[in-house]
Amino acid sequence: MNKRDPDFTAAASAEPTLAPVSRTGIPVPTNVEADAVDAERIGHPGTYPFTRGIFPDGYRGRLWTIRQYSGFGTAEESNERYKFLLEKGQTGLSVALDLPTQCGFDPTHPMARPEIGKVGVSLSNLSEAEILFRGLDLSKISTSFTINGTAAIVYAMYLAVADKQGVPRSKLTGTIQNDILKEYVARGTGSSRCGRPCGWWPTRSCTPTTFRRASTRSASPARTCATPARRRPRKWRTRWPTAWRTWRN
């Protein structure tokens, strides 16, 4: 921005002012005293409308999940990393997946090879998913996937791994971020055309009977609203039939 612009100079030297109302028309007081809060309206901690938190004792009874966003290279390398983090006190996993996995490309695809394992772990089939979680008790840790476009596929593989380990699905906890809008608006890694609510419906239909203690619907409004669109070349984008064919056991 040109600092010699008169409008910029005037705006920079002006004193900040408080707007009397918000952009949505809600009055904004200059300050708020304790008596301005209606205790009956906001309720108690752990009760509707949960204004004061969802737990009666807050985080004193149980701390929030502590997990580092991690994953790189091969499933073997990431498995070693996860075990190290859990040994150091981490209480959950936040799985980072590489771009071919996010876009539904097979690692052997010419477009995928330069990106294999770069920004996350490569996870293209059920065997790799088994290696990724080998030696980890999925009933005792919370797992988060920031995956979006191929969330339904990775979700299905995670359930299959739990089944093979003998872990009841009712004991699985975690989150799947399947915000397809973020992929289109902010990242350009969408793997399908949105003719329907394609991000949430595949996992939502399974939730009542499989993943009761976890969230299978997660959005990323901060990324969607704050990040300018960065479109990848058209040849990077594919449709679901192609993506489904490349994800094999």
Hey, CA dihedral for 189, 101, 221, 212, is it positive or negative?
positive
- Mean pLDDT over 12-33 rounds to 77
pLDDT of residue 52 exceeding 50, the answer is yes
Query: How far apart (Å, rounded) are the C-alpha atoms in residues 59 and 63?
Result: 5
SS3 at position 146: strand
Of 80 and 38, the one with more pLDDT: 80
**CATH architecture under which domain 48-246 falls:** Alpha-Beta Barrel (3.20)
What pLDDT is attached to residue 70? Answer: 94
pLDDT on residue 227 = 47
pLDDT at 80: 97
Q: Is the distance from CB of 70 to CB of 78 less than 8 angstroms?
A: yes
Convert the pLDDT of each residue in 55-96 to its tens digit. 899 888 888 888 999 999 999 999 999 999 999 999 999 999
How many other C-beta atoms lie within 10 A of the C-beta of residue 212?
12
What pLDDT, on the 0 to 100 scale, is given for residue 230?
A: 45
DSSP state letter for 11: H
Per-residue pLDDT, 199 = 47
Reported as a pLDDT band with limits 50, 70 and 90, residue 174 is confident
Instruction: Specify the pLDDT at position 241.
Output: 34
Q: Which residues pair with 94 in a beta bridge?
A: 69, 144
What pLDDT shows up at residue 128?
96
Give pTM, 2 decimals: 0.67
Burial of 88 (0-12, 13-18, 19+ CB in 10 A): exposed
What pLDDT is attached to residue 249?
33
Reduced to 3 states, what is the DSSP secondary structure of residue 202? helix
Band (pLDDT 50/70/90 cuts) for residue 215 is: low
- Spans of all domains in the chain: 48-246
Geometric angle at alpha carbon 138, from 248 and 245, rounded to 5°? 10
Mean pLDDT of the chain: 76
* CA end-to-end span of the chain: 53
Q: What is the pLDDT of residue 191?
A: 56
Reported as a single tens digit per residue, the pLDDT across 122-154 is: 999 999 999 999 999 999 999 999 887 788 889
Q: In three state form, how does the secondary structure of 69-123 look?
A: EECCCCHHHHHHHHHHHHHCCCCEEEECECHHHHHCCCCCCCCCHHHCCCCCECC
Can you say whether residue 174 is alpha, beta or left, with left for phi > 0 and alpha for psi between -120 and 50 degrees? left
